[in-house]
Amino acid sequence: MSLLDGCSTTKMISAAISGSDMIVPLTDFEIKKGNTAEFKRYLIAQNEKLQYPICVYRFDENNYEALWMKCTHQGTELQVFGDKLQCPAHGSEFNNHGKVENGPANAPLRTFLVTIADNQLKISLK
């Protein structure tokens, strides 16, 4: 991912929570370019009730991954760089499925069940 790519569209959204689900409209992934729709590869969804944001990766229209952006080493909030999440504290790295790619963290990120209905993602926070 280039820096320009990062600046051209906003990836931070504030998402509603309904019951025990966070709701992300699928249209939030769309980037309108004339008549063709392109899609963001990820969004960072926040809600004031959550201590950490959730990074939602889109692999295709039916496949998403929702990751808790809390480092499993000592709990620092992660930063997203394209398909990786990095920890600013001691440099741990995770891939877009939450697997550790570089320590010192040695446990995968928390993931959430994602279901798709009515043009929305429902991210189960249970």
Interacting residues toward ligand FES by CB under 6 A: 71, 73-74, 76, 87, 89-92, 104-105
* CB 43, min distance to ligand FES, A: 22
What string of H, E and C letters represents the secondary structure of 4-59? HHHHHCCCEEECEEECCEEEEEHHHHEEEECCEEEECCEEEEECCCCCCCEEEEEE
When the beta carbons of 18 and 51 are compared against ligand FES, the nearer one is 51
Q: Respond yes or no on whether the N-terminal peptide bond of residue 104 is cis (omega within 30° of 0).
A: yes
When the beta carbons of 98 and 122 are compared against ligand FES, the nearer one is 98
* CB 53, min distance to ligand FES, A: 15
